[in-house]
Structure 1
Amino acid sequence: MPYDLGATARLTAECRDPGGALATAATAAVTVTLPDGTTATPAVTEGDPGVYRADYPTTEPGRHAVRWVWTGPAHAYTDVFDVRDAAPPVILSLADAKKHLNQKTSVDDDEVRFWNEATTRCVEFFTGPVIPRAFTELHRERQQSSLVLRRTPVIAVTAVEQLRAGGPAYDVGDLLVDEDTGRVSLAEGGYLRGPLRFTYTAGRTAVAANIQGAARIILQHLWRTQLAQGRGGLPGGTDYAVTEPIPGLGYAIPNRAVQLLEPDRLPPGVA
């Protein structure tokens, strides 16, 4: 499961000799490669013979690569771990998600959080951003009367950077932005001359009940992968029926959730 940003990742690995037996090595080292390409080498300790541990305080969100190397005997091991953003976008709070799944203890909290984040991604496949966050995107066109930002609804454009030497600079106050469609033009008319890099916030300041309801159904559907076989069906089983695959998501989304999301569904061809 992903670590929260700032939490300590406990890394463990086993050193084995060529015959496969656990072995105490003459040297042991671990290297963590961060998402930005930099590396860290936390201190390594040995617990039980051949079992090694290193604690790494996380400092950056994203995928981290782990490389263990031992000598005497020569052995190596690779792994990965993920670190969440400081504020990962989720439609449901952990408390709401647990309540819907009837989880009364904290034993499975990490798994609930994981599937809750996956649920948000599934909902936003249909609706575009629900949880407000910043996006940055490049528009390469040299001249156009308007352009369309790719993520909607747009809450605010926060910066416009001119990338062509000698090109005109634009202030966000000069722009006319259609929040629903993402179309941007100059308030006083004329052409936007690029290429331009836009930074903007997109999402919803209030999450409608139908979106929250769809998120609950998708979460319940995905959570069923955690249930042991033979534990029986779920009440309201038709809510979780999937009769045909959805391009890009396969059978991950129940029919009822798709129906609930229809009022907020992106037009065809809109990413």
Structure 2
Amino acid sequence: MAYDLGAVAQLDATVTDAAGNPADSDTMTLTITLPDDSTVSVDPVTPTSTGSYSYAYTTTQPGRHLVRWLGTGTNPFAQADVFDVREQAPVAIVSLADAKAQLNEASNVDDDELRGYVTGASLAVERELGTIVARRPFSERRTADSDGQILLSNVPVLAVTGAVSADGTTTWAAADLDVDTDTGLVTAVAGAAPLAGDVDCTYTAGLRIVPDDYQLATSIIIQHLWETQRGRSGAVPGGSTEPEYMSGRGFALPRRALELLDTPLPGVA
């Protein structure tokens, strides 16, 4: 389950006795391990009804959260689970409304699940293109070469907001840095301290204007994955079917989507 940052994650556990009937543990504790490895502990958790435990946790960090329920005493219980919290800037080449329009979906029942498909399809498109499409911030540590240059991992770069040496002794403001937006090559401007050693960089990458063919390809992939997940055979309008291409990176990408992205097709030299 994925939540937006700041949303309330509803965590639940159900305890039964040896006969399978709802029953309380003598004590129940809940531990949530956050992405930064800090923990939130609730001890004890009071049952809302016999055998039912619930806790509403307001999320504060993006990333993977680990959940651990532990009941002791007459009816011992242990359960581990996870949930994810999305970054504030979603990875989305198309909007939820666009995806629903592609699926002719009017109901809001599947919105949370569908948003996961939007993110997955968007990441697949970016991997096929080898470039960032959905504009969002990045933070990463890079090592300067002997010429005082750093090559950022994600392009095109829209802006470098700042950098700081890994040991914290030197800071570069945005005005101190020059960046080649296409390659991600960063250097210090004349008069600023040269980049050296390991440097932590913060920047934004992506496209300010997303081409229509990128958006359409993403929508097609969403539709393909959504219908496949629901047991449909991948029929296209007119009743025909097309061969599927398994990209080798966890996504089955329809041929028509790859053609829109202008990426090499399997078996085509």
In which range does the TM-score fall when normalised by the shorter chain? 0.7 to 0.9
- Shift, 1:131, TM fit: 1.8
- Does the residue aligned with 1:46 lie in a helix, a strand or coil? coil
- Shift, 1:233, TM fit: 3.1
Compared with structure 1, are the counterparts of its residues 49 and 119 closer, same or farther at alpha carbon in structure 2 (3 Å cutoff)?
Answer: same
- Identify, as 1 or 2, the structure richer in strand: 2
1:153 corresponds to which of 126, 151, 156: 156
Query: Residues 199-241 of structure 1, C-alpha deviation per residue, up to 9 Å, x if partnerless?
Result: 21111111011110110111111112332458x8342677863
Contact residue 239 and residue 255 of structure 1 kept, 8 A:
no
Q: Specify the alignment match of 2:124 in structure 1.
A: 122
Question: RMSD of the TM alignment (CA)?
Answer: 2.9
Task: Point out where structure 1 has 5 or more consecutive residues left out of the alignment.
Answer: 264-271
- Give distance in 2, aligned partners of 1:111 and 1:97: 12
Query: Residues 181-205 of structure 1, C-alpha deviation per residue, up to 9 Å, x if partnerless?
Result: 2223455599743332222111111
Compared with structure 1, are the counterparts of its residues 191 and 7 closer, same or farther at alpha carbon in structure 2 (3 Å cutoff)?
Answer: closer
- Quick one: which amino acid aligns to residue 226 of structure 2? W
- Shift, 1:21, TM fit: 3.9
Tell me the matched-pair count.
259
Q: How does 1:1-271 map to 2 (within 5 A)?
A: 1-42=1-42, 44-71=45-72, 72-127=74-129, 128-144=131-147, 146-163=149-166, 170-186=172-188, 192-228=195-231, 233-235=235-237, 241-243=243-245, 245-249=246-250, 252-262=252-262
- Give distance in 2, aligned partners of 1:89 and 1:10: 24
- Give distance in 2, aligned partners of 1:86 and 1:169: 26
- Does the residue aligned with 1:253 lie in a helix, a strand or coil? strand
Contact residue 89 and residue 136 of structure 2 kept, 8 A:
no
- Give distance in 2, aligned partners of 1:45 and 1:99: 44
- Quick one: which amino acid aligns to residue 60 of structure 2? T
- Does the residue aligned with 2:97 lie in a helix, a strand or coil? helix
Compared with structure 1, are the counterparts of its residues 238 and 138 closer, same or farther at alpha carbon in structure 2 (3 Å cutoff)?
Answer: farther
Compared with structure 1, are the counterparts of its residues 145 and 75 closer, same or farther at alpha carbon in structure 2 (3 Å cutoff)?
Answer: closer
Task: Point out where structure 2 has 5 or more consecutive residues left out of the alignment.
Answer: 264-269
Compared with structure 1, are the counterparts of its residues 49 and 176 closer, same or farther at alpha carbon in structure 2 (3 Å cutoff)?
Answer: closer
Query: Residues 65-89 of structure 1, C-alpha deviation per residue, up to 9 Å, x if partnerless?
Result: 1111112222211111111222322
